[in-house]
Amino acid sequence: MRFITTFYEYLNENLSPKFSDLAKGVDYETFLHKTYFDNSYHKVLYRGSGRELEDNIFMTDDLDHAEQYGEDVDGIVSNTNFKDTILHFDNGSFNELRDNFGVLISDRGRYLDFDYDEYESTFKEKLREIYSPYFEKGKLSDAMYQLNKDEDKVIDYVYDFITNSTDNYRLISMNKQNDFLIPLLMYYAKRDTYNIISFWGSDYGGSMEYVVGDISKYTKLSDIWENYK
């Protein structure tokens, strides 16, 4: 096994010369727009309103969309178009989550039918464990404020939507309530080794949205520009 010891080696291993060349001799804003319009070999996800990218962060594949949130845009890039790392949630895949909700409390949960009334407290305890880091870091605070829900009401909402509702997920993905489902969707995705989830959201008049779990798995656009400009 060969170890990659420098940042340049890492970039050279993971990016084609064509992409890194986009940064040469241009300012950062020009580089960003070149990555958006010349993306034949790589897929880029962007984030507006600051270059401090953190785990479990919302991102978009539309640069204009990212810029709506602030001019200080950064992003991540993959030369495999994030292949095998994105789990897309639509009505069908969300219903699979509903059917497999038992995985939260049992490794055999995919194959068991649960009496949810009997196991409600166990499921909610697991949900609180999953949601605790999101509550602590304030990642759901905006939706909680707008929809007037405290932590217990968020857990109740998520549990009820999974176990007592047959509403199409697409109806929720276009609304603020979807924020409450993100921690569960990420947990479910990571169990199957996915690091990114996607869904059709309401932002920017309706567009594909992404949430990236472990941001450290990808190369940041700002780092590429700093090292190749």
Q: What is the pLDDT of residues 7-17, one digit of tens each?
A: 344 444 456 65
Same domain, 78 and 147: no
Q: What is the pLDDT of residues 95-146, one digit of tens each?
A: 999 988 988 888 765 656 777 888 899 999 999 999 999 999 999 999 999 9
Tokens read off for 171: 């109806």
Q: Identify whether 45 is part of a domain.
A: yes
Same domain, 150 and 72: no
**pTM of the entire structure?**
0.86
**How many folded domains does the chain comprise?**
2
3 state DSSP class of 211: strand
3 state DSSP class of 90: coil
Same domain, 134 and 55: no
Same domain, 54 and 22: yes
Tokens read off for 1: 């096994």
- Say which DSSP state 60 is in: B
Mean pLDDT by 10 residues, the chain (229 residues): 37 61 92 84 84 88 89 85 86 93 78 77 95 95 96 97 92 94 96 92 84 91 90
Same domain, 97 and 41: no
CA distances from 138 to 57, 131, 143, 164 (A): 12, 11, 10, 27
Q: By residue range, what is the domain housing residue 27?
A: 7-85+218-228
Q: Identify whether 203 is part of a domain.
A: no
Backbone phi, psi, residue 22, to 5°: -65, -25
